[in-house]
Amino acid sequence: MSYPGYPPTGYPPFPGYPPAGQESTFPPPGQYPYPTGFPPVGGGAYPPAPSSGYPGAGGYPATAGYPTPGGYPGAPPPGGAPSYPGGGFPGGQMPSQYPGGQGPYPSQPAAMTQGAQGTIRPAANFDAMRDAEVLRKAMKGFGTDEQAIVNIVANRSNDQRQKIKAAFKTMYGKDLIKDLKSELSGNMEELILALFMPPTYYDAWSLRNAMKGAGTQERVLIEILCTRTNQEIREIVRCYQSEFGRDLEKDIRSDTSGHFERLLVSMCQGNRDENQNVNHQLAQEDAQRLYQAGEGRLGTDESCFNMILATRSFPQLKATMEAYSRVANRDLLSSVAREFSGNVESGLKTILQCALNRPAFFAERLYYSMKGAGTDDSTLVRIVVTRSEIDLVQIKQMFKQMYQKTLSTMIVSDTSGDYRRLLLAIVGQ
């Protein structure tokens, strides 16, 4: 299965985010030149890919990094897929050649780790004023021409959308976001507003929303904090402070507790090692330490897991997972599942899944946002929007490989109307 090479399109800096008086929902003019791209959270167990799907998984040498916009170092290079706990095996049959007899969690083929590809590219002959005019016409008079809005929004990069917002205010003295909010509602409104937020702001806003009011949406905290690059995390922390006047770490401390709180506080330091070279000696030692902190003793030494999973680079963690399978005779993901539970288990697994194969992690989250009765629209919107200029192409490939159906087919059966049209326009066929 050869994957096309892909120059990742980085996010250029965006102009400020206008709406005044709406600080709670949108960034005030505190503009920030943040580049960014970000991933989401791991659901339950990964239904692994059928063994036939990969041309010799394991035959690949670990490749170098993964230059995502934020300069993402820790991409999942390839290597033998360790067994992945739980999850029905989509193909029905379970390959016996995996340790533990469980299906493999798809590890990325070499070609895929070199870069990544978004489904949205900047429009070629871009004219912000012309787009602003089309949007104004689409919202004037009776009714709204949703198709005209979809055509523009789905075919412009985030940076271009920021420019359209600025042009709209200059030309009409009105706020584009407020106008859109008054014309739209429900999921369509959430999707459009997300597309118009600068990426770093959208992450910060999602975190704030996850902790506001009663109850905390831990999945969202995990999805963002355990998957972003150091640079992205530091920008999110700054933006959270400048836009909401709050300290992210303090909010996390007051909304979570125990080992889960420690893991998230570690994550929001944005201090993970980002060196792309793997130290095999260290991987061996870490694997031994993790074994002795969990499977090799009565009880679990949680701080040892936290220390290693929070500080090592993603390529280093991948090598540690491979070494661990040899030391413990079972893969690290299933050991984490046996030693931990609840949110801290999900957080630790998310870090390991990102080290192995980040697109597969998002594919799984998307699948579970639509599987079964009802749809978790916020997760669907968040992942599609945040990955649209980073690696949505790879996420779609993994989705098809893991679930034997395309992401767009699932979106078609789970959504409707303009919301469905816009999602499909972003995802592409």
Write out pLDDT tens, residues 291-348. 999 999 999 999 999 999 999 999 999 999 999 999 999 999 999 999 999 999 999 9
- C-alpha–C-alpha distance, residues 121 and 217, integer Å: 31
| Together in a domain, 265 and 304 | no
- Sequence-separated (6 or more) residues with CB below 8 Å from residue 155: 120, 123, 425
- Please list, residue by residue across 194-206, b when 16 or more beta carbons sit within 10 angstroms of its beta carbon and e when fewer do: bbbbbbbbbbbbb
pLDDT of residue 74: 41
Nearest to 227 by CA among 267, 176, 259: 267
pLDDT of residue 254: 95
Average pLDDT rounded to a whole number, residues 367-381: 94
- C-alpha–C-alpha distance, residues 77 and 211, integer Å: 33
**Residue 109 pLDDT class (50, 70, 90 cuts):** low
Which residue segment(s) compose the domain that 301 sits in? Answer: 277-341
Domain-located, residue 33: no
Domain-located, residue 61: no
Domain endpoint, select from 269, 286, 318: 269
For residue 343, give the H/E element and its range: helix 342-370
Phi and psi dihedrals of 416, rounded to 5? -155, 170
Domain-located, residue 368: no
Domain-located, residue 20: no
| Together in a domain, 284 and 330 | yes
**Residue 97 pLDDT class (50, 70, 90 cuts):** very low
pLDDT of residue 93: 38
Q: What is the CATH number of the domain that holds 213?
A: 1.10.220.10
Domain-located, residue 182: yes
Domain-located, residue 316: yes
By residue count, the chain amounts to: 429
| Together in a domain, 263 and 306 | no
| Together in a domain, 207 and 151 | no
Which one is predicted more confidently, 1 or 145? 145
Domain-located, residue 298: yes
- Mean pLDDT, the chain, whole residue set: 82
Domain endpoint, select from 219, 235, 269: 269
| Together in a domain, 233 and 260 | yes
Tokens of 215: 């109850």
pLDDT of residue 361: 97
Domain endpoint, select from 269, 295, 329: 269
| Together in a domain, 325 and 294 | yes
Q: Residue 140: count other Cβ atoms within 10 Å of its Cβ.
A: 12
pLDDT digits (tens, 9 = 90+) for 252-291: 999 999 999 999 999 999 999 999 999 999 999 999 999 9
- C-alpha–C-alpha distance, residues 388 and 155, integer Å: 11
**Residue 373 pLDDT class (50, 70, 90 cuts):** confident
pLDDT of residue 142: 77
| Together in a domain, 251 and 287 | no
| Together in a domain, 176 and 149 | yes
| Together in a domain, 147 and 207 | no
Average pLDDT rounded to a whole number, residues 15-33: 44
- Is the backbone of residue 417 left (phi > 0), alpha (psi -120 to 50) or beta? left
For the chain, the domain total comes to 3
Nearest to 46 by CA among 368, 341, 268, 327: 368
For residue 168, give the H/E element and its range: helix 158-172
- Is the backbone of residue 299 left (phi > 0), alpha (psi -120 to 50) or beta? left
| Together in a domain, 308 and 263 | no
pLDDT of residue 111: 44
Domain-located, residue 138: yes
| Together in a domain, 185 and 136 | yes
Q: How far is it between the farthest Cα atoms of the chain?
A: 71
- Sequence-separated (6 or more) residues with CB below 8 Å from residue 142: none
How many angstroms separate the Cα of 348 from the Cα of each of 100, 155, 233, 333, 351?
A: 20, 36, 17, 9, 5
How many angstroms separate the Cα of 321 from the Cα of each of 272, 335, 412?
A: 17, 11, 37
| Together in a domain, 132 and 192 | yes
pLDDT of residue 144: 85
